[in-house]
Amino acid sequence: MEEGLAGQVSATVRRATEQDLDTLAGMGAELARLHHAYDPKRFMYGDDFVAGYRWWFEKELKLGEVFLAVVDGADGTPAGYVYGRLEEKDWASLLDSHAALVDVYVREDARRTGAGGALVRAFCAWASEHGAPRVVLSTASQNTGAQALFAKLGFRSTMVELTRESS
Sign of the alpha-carbon torsion through 56, 94, 163, 38: positive
In tens digits, what is the pLDDT along the chain, a chain of 167 residues? 344 434 443 468 999 999 999 999 999 999 999 999 999 999 999 889 999 999 999 999 988 789 999 999 888 889 999 999 999 999 999 999 999 999 999 999 898 889 999 999 999 999 999 999 999 999 999 999 999 999 999 999 999 999 999 98
The pLDDT of residue 9 = 39
Domains defined along the chain, listed by start: 2-152 (3.40.630.30)
CA–CA distance, 17 with 3 (Å, rounded to integer): 25
Q: Which residues contact 53 (CB under 8 A, 6 or more apart)?
A: 24, 25, 26, 28, 29, 32
CA–CA distance, 77 with 11 (Å, rounded to integer): 10
The pLDDT of residue 11 = 60
The pLDDT of residue 75 = 82
Report pTM: 0.89
The pLDDT of residue 77 = 85
